[in-house]
């Protein structure tokens, strides 16, 4: 009997090398991922669209042309979060509003992946318009955690995290507005990086909070994320907020560094209050191992941590209410049938097209921006935002990277927080300040919870545009800490 | 004149009428059940936002974008980047190269 292929479990670095050196074909790698999707998708529901035909066609085309050393991801199958536009491939943002929307352009990050030789497998599930922390707000279906399918994968890039973890693809793109790459990576036990604001073009990312949003890679190793980031980072004339500096050689320092003398700043506000016992224990254990390997642990203080959640949600909701005003039922998106007036068209198309969490955030965003409340909420939050950024930059003066838990708890049961939105918002306490400050954050597994047996992640937070350092430290940690393995699916 | 007043979510009650006003500003229509649900949730959420009132922001310049780099504009040169057919391809209703909306006047 033929042994089942384990090709899908290779790292991106390994498969890219095998493809480049002709040991594996693009069609073979793509078929392995498509097979894996077939055998695992009914359990985890990570994908909103699988482009089997398009992916195989592209892979065969690449095979005909042969490996190209100028294409670092030649033949590598990759999945894309469905908030990111893909030319000719339906892009829903997890919303009924965009059920039939087919972009006529690629997001810049997607274009760069294609130009690097990647094969786009399909689109991954998410909370509607990336608003949520569990992927349960998808208008189509909830995604499930590959380690235990009764549990959520986190969100909003839960589809990308579950897909990567289950071996459906070698890497995926996610987007992170308040933790949406790092938190699902933590809950699923994979790796994800939110780059510095401005590091990756946002062109083609369906906007949620424009001063917070970043696209970033998710993969099974730190080096794999670094390789992806090398491809998608850089200046883009189509995004005025993209930074002028060229992409770094992010993977160069992976594989060689050690933790000796590396100063890791542990924020005392994160390690106290709110952490579940098993997350605290797993993080402390990881810190002990790092210290034994020569890392220097220092305590840093981020006094405005408590205010960050309110600050974030005010700003994110305000920006969401503005960004989502574009959905009017006229140019694209859902249009209500049988309306008599233009006013009716707006009201009914939007009310039918948006789900409850999206309506909630649009309305609250409208409220905090409205006359009489603007100064008390929006302007006040923007002031606190500056205090938060300044204190992060100060804390980073005292260490090479801040090192903190990603989520206060491991993955929870589906349905737990659905009726109480505020309790779901509080889950983002440790991730969202980075988006307020615009800083890069790398989430990686550091162990498993002693009670739940589920992955626990920590994030390395770096200086603006210094992704190299957190990736190098993360890679050294990955080689030092015990590996959590892969779920049996 | 900007003020540093604290948010007042908890001190005021969010009524169903408040929710209806927010919905109208956001061009959303809600039924009675939704108005009731959202009123309760908004009370909790806006009440939670009161934590900001404890932060001293006297004299702090608001930060609206975290970008430390200088955002670069581009030359304002007209270019035909996409065709009319492409732009219209996702329109729910179109006619002869135009978006169609209900009668306005």
Cβ atoms of A142 and A94 within 8 Å: the answer is no
Rounded to a whole number of angstroms, the distance from the CA of B27 to the nearest CA of chain A is 5
Contact A222, A253 (CB under 8 A): no
pLDDT tops 60 at residue B6 = no
Average pLDDT over residues B22-39: 96
In a domain, A167, yes or no: yes
pLDDT value of position B11: 55
Q: Which long-range contacts (CB under 8 A, 24 or more apart) does B38-44 make?
A: B38/A359, B38/A360, B38/A363, B39/B14, B39/B15, B41/A360, B41/A421, B41/A422, B42/A360, B42/A363, B42/A364, B42/A367, B42/B14, B42/B18, B43/B9, B43/B13, B43/B14, B44/A422
CB of A215 closer than 8 Å to CB of A174: yes
d(CA B23, CA A267): 40
Residue B21 resides in a domain: yes
In a domain, A419, yes or no: no
Quote the pLDDT of residue A414. 97
Is the pLDDT confidence value at B66 over 60?
yes
Residue B2 in this model has a pLDDT that exceeds 90: no
The residue of B6, B37, B45, B77 whose CB has the most chain A CBs within 10 angstroms, and thus the best one to mutate to test that interface, is B45
Biggest CA pair distance of chain B: 58
Per the CB < 8 Å rule, is B72 touching A382? Answer: no
Q: What is the mean predicted confidence (pLDDT) over B23-37?
A: 96
Identify each DSSP E strand in A199-294 by its residue range: 214-219, 263-267
Sequence-ordered alpha helix ranges (H) in A24-74 = 26-44, 52-65
If pLDDT is split at 50, 70 and 90, which confidence band does B4 have? Answer: very low
* pTM score of the predicted model: 0.96
Instruction: Report which secondary-structure segment, H or E, holds A337.
Output: none
Total of domains in chain B: 1
Structural domain contains residue A412? no
The answer to whether A348 contacts chain B (CB < 8 Å) is yes
Nearest CA in chain A to B57: A383
Count Cα neighbours of B12 within 13 Å in the Cβ-side half-sphere: 12
Mean pLDDT of B10-39: 91
**Nearest-CB residue to A422 (from B7, B45, B71):** B45
Residues 420-479 of A with CB under 8 A from B: 421-422, 425, 435-439, 464-465
Contact at CB, A437 and B2, closer than 8 angstroms: no
Q: B18: domain CATH number?
A: 1.10.20.60
Q: What is the mean pLDDT of residues B14-28?
A: 95
Domain-located, residue A342: no
Number of structural domains found in chain A: 1
Identify the pLDDT of residue B75. 82
Residue tagged 């932060």 (tokens): B55
With respect to residue A292, please indicate whether it lies within any of the assigned structural domains.
no
Cβ count within 10 A of residue A214: 27
Q: Could you tell me if residue A380 is inside a domain? A: no
For B44, the domain range is 1-57
Judge whether A113 lies within some domain: yes
Is the pLDDT reported for residue B5 higher than 60?
no
Domain contains B20: yes
pLDDT at A418: 84
A156 cis-preceded (ω within 30 degrees of 0): yes
Chain A residues inside the 8 Å CB shell of B6: 376, 380
CA–CA separation, A289 and A465 (whole Å):
28
DSSP state of A401: E
Rg of the Cα trace of chain B?
22
pLDDT, residue A278, reads: 96
pLDDT given at position A321: 98
Q: In what order do the strands lie in the sheet with A296-300?
A: A47-50, A119-124, A77-81, A171-176, A214-219, A191-194, A441-448, A455-461, A401-405, A263-267, A296-300
A240 neighbourhood in chain B, CB within 8 Å: 71-74
Q: Do A438 and B64 touch (CB under 8 A)?
A: no
Residues lower than pLDDT 70 in chain A:
1-4, 272-273
Q: Which residue shows structure tokens 């033949």?
A: A75
Q: Which residues of chain A neighbour B25 with C-beta distances below 8 Å?
A: 366, 370
CATH number, domain with residue A185: 3.90.1300.10
* Residue-range definition of the domain harbouring residue A197: 7-232
Yes or no: say if A406 and A459 are a contact pair by the CB < 8 Å rule: yes
């Amino acid at each position: 009997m033929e042994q089942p292929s384990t090709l899908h479990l290779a790292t991106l670095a390994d498969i890219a090398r095998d493809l480049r050196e002709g040991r594996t074909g693009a069609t073979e790698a793509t078929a392995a991922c498509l097979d894996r999707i077939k055998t695992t998708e009914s359990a985890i529901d990570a994908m909103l669209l699988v482009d089997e035909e398009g992916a195989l066609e592209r892979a065969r085309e690449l095979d005909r042309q042969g490996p190209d050393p100028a294409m670092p991801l030649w033949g590598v199958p990759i999945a894309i979060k469905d908030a990111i536009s893909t030319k000719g491939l339906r892009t829903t943002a997890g919303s009924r509003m965009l059920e039939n929307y087919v972009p006529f352009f690629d997001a810049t990050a997607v274009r760069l992946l294609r130009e690097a030789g990647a094969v786009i497998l399909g689109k991954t599930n998410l909370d509607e318009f990336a608003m949520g922390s569990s992927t349960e707000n998808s208008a189509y279906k909830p995604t499930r955690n590959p380690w235990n399918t009764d549990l959520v994968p986190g969100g909003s890039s839960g589809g990308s995290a579950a897909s990567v973890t289950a071996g459906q693809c070698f890497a995926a793109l996610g987007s992170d507005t308040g933790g949406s790459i790092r938190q699902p990576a933590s809950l699923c036990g994979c790796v994800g990086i939110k780059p510095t604001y401005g590091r990756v073009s946002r062109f083609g990312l369906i906007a949620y909070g424009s001063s917070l949003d970043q696209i970033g890679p998710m993969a099974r190793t730190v080096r794999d994320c670094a390789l992806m980031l090398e491809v998608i980072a850089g200046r883009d004339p189509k995004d005025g907020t993209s930074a002028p500096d060229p992409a770094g050689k992010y993977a160069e320092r992976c594989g060689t560094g050690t933790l000796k003398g590396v100063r890791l700043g542990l924020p005392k506000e994160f390690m106290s209050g709110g952490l579940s016992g098993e997350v605290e224990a797993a993080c402390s254990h990881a810190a002990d191992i790092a210290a034994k390997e020569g890392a220097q642990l220092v305590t840093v203080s981020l006094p405005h941590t408590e205010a960050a959640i309110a600050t974030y949600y005010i700003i994110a909701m305000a920006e969401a209410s503005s960004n989502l005003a574009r959905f009017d039922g006229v140019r694209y998106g859902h249009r209500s049938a049988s309306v008599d007036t233009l006013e009716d068209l707006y009201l009914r198309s939007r009310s039918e097209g948006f789900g409850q969490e999206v309506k909630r955030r649009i309305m609250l965003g409208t409220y905090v921006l409205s006359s009489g409340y603007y100064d008390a909420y929006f302007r006040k939050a923007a002031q606190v935002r500056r205090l938060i950024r300044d204190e992060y930059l100060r804390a980073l003066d005292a260490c090479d990277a801040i090192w903190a838990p990603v989520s206060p708890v491991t993955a929870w049961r589906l349905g737990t927080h659905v009726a109480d939105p505020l309790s779901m918002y509080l889950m983002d306490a440790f991730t969202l300040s980075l988006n307020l400050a615009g800083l890069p954050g790398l989430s990686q597994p550091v162990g498993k919870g002693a009670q739940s047996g589920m992955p626990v992640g920590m994030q390395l937070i770096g200086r603006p545009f210094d992704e190299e350092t957190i990736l190098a430290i993360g890679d050294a940690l990955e080689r030092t800490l015990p590996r959590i393995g892969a779920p049996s699916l | 004149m900007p003020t540093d007043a604290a948010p007042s979510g908890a001190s005021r009650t969010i009524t169903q009428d408040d929710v209806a006003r927010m919905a109208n500003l956001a061009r959303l229509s809600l039924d009675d059940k939704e108005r009731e649900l959202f009123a309760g949730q908004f009370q909790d959420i806006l009440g939670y936002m009161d934590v900001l009132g404890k932060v001293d922001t006297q004299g702090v310049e608001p930060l609206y974008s975290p970008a430390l780099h200088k955002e670069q504009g581009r030359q304002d040169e007209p270019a035909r980047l996409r065709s009319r057919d492409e732009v219209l391809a996702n329109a729910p209703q179109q006619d002869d190269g135009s978006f169609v909306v209900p009668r306005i006047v």
